[in-house]
Homo-oligomer: A and B are copies of this chain.
Amino acid sequence: MTAQPEPVSSARRIAAPPSMSTLAAEALREMVLSGELQPGDRVIENRLTEQLGVSRPPLREAMRVLEQEGLIVQVPRKGAVVAPVTPHDIYEIVSLREEIEQIAVRLGVPVRSQERLDRLREAFADLEAAAEEDGAPGVVACSFAFHLAIVGLAGHRRLEDVYRSLSLQMRMCMAMNRRARAGIETARQDAGRHRPLMELVEAGDVEGMAHTLAHHGQRTYLLSIEDDAEGHSPESRAWFARIRQEEEEAMRHDGHH
């Protein structure tokens, strides 16, 4: 308490020196999310080391992280592939993601933490800016960031981590080539729905939030998937049927108004 030998405390916090393994993880993640690597593609270690300019050990650590995030799967002596996604997987990802949103608004909206609200407002501003300027995939990232900030209202790190992981997986699904257009289109449609969400947050309307999120736009992208008969489970089939019905009802409602 007598003397602090290091007065560089305020700027220090931000400057975290990123290790090679962390950088490799980010790069690999980006490759998956951008669609450069598609579900089912093999992930060869040697191939990537020269591509990313790192050695194999850090790359392997990065792959272990991606595996935990659900973006790739590793089979012990056979190698790794980008996680294939079946309709059942879509069901798991989206249903759990919605459940977590519900939990988060229930926990977080009533608290009204200024710090977290500011973070959300910032994400909202970014989203609106991105929606106006470029019609590019930047909107997708901002949309996910906005939703993440909503979940962040709860101040529940573990809840947020799970949500982040699921969002990554959902983005990976959207990057599958045949769906890509639908994904971006969905994001554009959603852009208009974010303002009502923001207003509900400001008003502290938990019920409204829960209801709006449950019928939020990112679902519409699911309708492009249903046809695939392969990889359905009984649960996923029933769930898709329910979603489709709800969406049709919502669209009919929109048409009538």
* Partner-B contacts on A (CB < 8 A): 16-19, 21-22, 57, 60-61, 64-65, 68-70, 76-77, 92-93, 95-96, 99, 103, 107, 111, 154-159, 162, 166, 233-235
Contact = CB atoms under 8 A, between A and B. Distances in A.
A93 B158 contact: yes
Given A57-B60, A107-B235, A162-B162, 15 more contacts: A18-B76, A21-B64, A57-B57, A61-B61, A64-B68, A68-B68, A92-B156, A93-B158, A95-B107, A111-B234, A111-B235, A154-B235, A155-B233, A156-B235, A158-B166
A18 B77 CA distance: 9
Contacts of A18: 76
Contacts of A77: 17, 19
Nearest to A235: B155
A233 B233 CA distance: 41
Contacts of A95: 107, 156
16 contacts: A18-B76, A19-B76, A61-B64, A68-B68, A70-B158, A92-B156, A92-B157, A92-B159, A95-B107, A96-B162, A107-B235, A154-B235, A155-B233, A155-B235, A158-B166, A162-B162
A99 B16 CA distance: 34
Chain A interface, >50% SS class: helix
Nearest to A56: B57
Nearest to A156: B92
A210 to B, nearest CB: 14
A20 B185 CA distance: 46
A103 B100 CA distance: 10
Given A17-B76, A65-B64, A159 B96 contact: yes
Contacts of A233: 155
Contacts of A69: 68
A80 to B, nearest CB: 13
A96 B162 CA distance: 10
B60 A158 contact: no
A96 B158 contact: yes
A61 B95 CA distance: 31
Contacts of A70: 158
A180 to B, nearest CB: 23
